[in-house]
Amino acid sequence: MSMISEYGTLLLLIACAFAFFMAWGVGANDVANATGTSVGSRALTIKQAIFVAMIFEFCGAYLAGGEVTETIKNGIVDADRISPDLMVLGMMSALLAAGTWLLIASSKGWPVSTTHSIIGAVVGFAAVGVSTDAVHWNAIGPIVASWVVTPFLAGLVAFALFRSVQALIINTDAPFKNAKRYVPLYMFLTGFMVSIMTVTKGLKHVGLHLSSGQGLLLSLAIGGAVMLLGIAILSRIQVDETADKDFHYASVEKVFAVLMVFTACSMAFAHGANDVANAVGPLAAIVGVIESGGAAVVGAKSAVPSWVLLLGAIGIVIGLATYGYKVIATIGKEITELTPSRGFAAELATASTVVGASALGLPVSTTHTLVGAVLGIGLARGIGALNLGVVGSIFMSWLITLPIGAVLSIIFFTILRTIFL
């Protein structure tokens, strides 16, 4: 009698609970990154930010989350070398390990990478619990490289975006007039970037198959609609002369605050698309093995069931609503002082980079990307604008995430193996 035929249903229920715990952690820690800049620059209140994130994280996870889920599920470990029983227990311990570390980090207010946590945990159980040959070490290379490259790229994009804002709007004779003229173009860019990603990669899960031409036209149309909506909202904003006396660009920043709402939505969407995989990738692997009764299709590419993406999406939303406020404070207020024009550049740069990475199926860390973008903006203002102490502790928590994920995973794997095998 194999373990799966004996305990299949029980294991599936436990695995769902662990995946939900992990998704809760993603919501509490990682989603805070997606909304922290909007809150820090005072474009949204914390309640509004949580509301926006709930809707768009859910849509991103459900509509566009399938591509990256494949990599976490099949790309990191060699399923042929791991017996179905060990695969199920290993993926369960990986979920529990990553969820536990996220709970600890969130309680401290550290923005750590959920991507690191889960990849460290999966590698840990496979390398120590099974054998070092069970890990696709050649696949780990590009993933690790993307952790270095993406913050750098996001920093460059954010730097360039903020410089363009300075050149076109802030450092001109009529900044308010120019803000009203150019901000709709940035809105178009935001709408276009996110929709092209969703259309080309995500909608297959919903059963919509569009050609690349149709996808491009649809994305242009959505970008245009976002821009028109933005123009309508912006037409109501007037120069506030009393506020401008205190802060020369107060009226301009009001225009950017409208833009921040759009970028916050796009950021939450991109995050849901990339990071729901961390919670449901291992669960998708477990479901595949248990449903086949432990047959040898461990490594086969299987569609991620809709209910699995749904479970991840709901967990993320609950985590954010119940425990997300701590990390929001770190990102939004403590790295560098953010205003809506700076926050917008950081969010759009992050969303574009994450969207591009998801399209390539690379599990990048939204945390790293966003911190890279915020650093890029700090540098565009001069190094003195950065709070280097906070940056240092963030980097420190990043370094220990992988090994902690791996160690916890090995401990839980040993416990589960003792109970079930």
Residue 7 banded pLDDT, cuts 50, 70, 90: confident
Q: Place 296 in a pLDDT band, splitting at 50, 70 and 90.
A: very low
Select, from the ranges 183-192, 353-362, 386-395, the one with the highest average predicted confidence (pLDDT): 183-192
- Res 86: pLDDT: 83
Q: At CA 86, angle to CA 83 and CA 88, rounded to 5?
A: 110
Q: Which amino acid is at 43?
A: A
Residue 373: is its pLDDT beyond 60? yes
Q: For residue 66, what pLDDT band results from cuts at 50, 70 and 90?
A: low
DSSP state, residue 41: T
Give the integer Cα–Cα distance in Å for 142 and 146: 6
pLDDT at 62 over 80: no
Residue 295 pLDDT greater than 70, yes or no = no
Residue 234 in 3-state DSSP? helix
pLDDT value of position 412: 92
Q: How large is the average pLDDT for residues 118-146? A: 80
Q: What is the pLDDT of residue 335?
A: 67
Residue 119 binned pLDDT confidence (cut-offs 50, 70, 90): confident
Vertex 154: Cα angle to 149 and 159 (nearest 5): 130
Nearest to 303 by CA among 129, 67, 33: 67
The reported pLDDT for the residue numbered 109 is 76
Query: pLDDT at position 101, please?
Result: 92
Q: What is the pLDDT of residue 96?
A: 92
Contacts of 389 (CB under 8 A, 6+ apart): none
For 11, 152, 350, the CA distances from 413, given in Å and listed in that order, are: 14, 35, 35
Mean pLDDT calculated for residue range 343-372: 77
Mean pLDDT of 317-331: 77
pLDDT tens column, 40-53: 777 778 788 878 88
Contact 319, 278 (CB under 8 A): no
Pick 195 or 316 by higher pLDDT.
316
What was the pLDDT predicted at 20? 92
- Residue with the larger pLDDT of the pair 334 and 37: 37
The predicted model gives 181-206 an average pLDDT of 72
pLDDT band of 100, cuts 50, 70, 90: very high
Q: What is the pLDDT of residue 363?
A: 67
CA-based nearest residue to 409, from 162, 159, 85, 127: 127
Residue 17: the pLDDT is 93
Q: Helices in 166-234 by DSSP H: which ranges?
A: 175-197, 212-234
Q: Residue 57 has what pLDDT?
A: 80
Across 30-34, 166-170, 175-179, 398-402, least confident range: 30-34
Query: What is the reported pTM?
Result: 0.77
The residue that leads in pLDDT, 221 or 37, is 221
**Host domain of residue 226:** 3-420
Number of domains in the chain: 1
- For the segment 400-421, what is each residue's pLDDT rounded down to a tens digit? 888 898 899 999 999 988 888 7
Grade residue 65 by pLDDT with cuts at 50, 70 and 90.
low
What would the mean pLDDT of 311-323 be, rounded to a whole number? 83
Average pLDDT value over all residues in the chain: 78
Distance CA 66, CA 51 (A): 24
pLDDT > 70 fraction of the chain, expressed in percent and rounded: 85
Q: What pLDDT, on a 0 to 100 scale, did the predictor assign at position 327?
A: 74
More confident residue, 421 or 224: 224
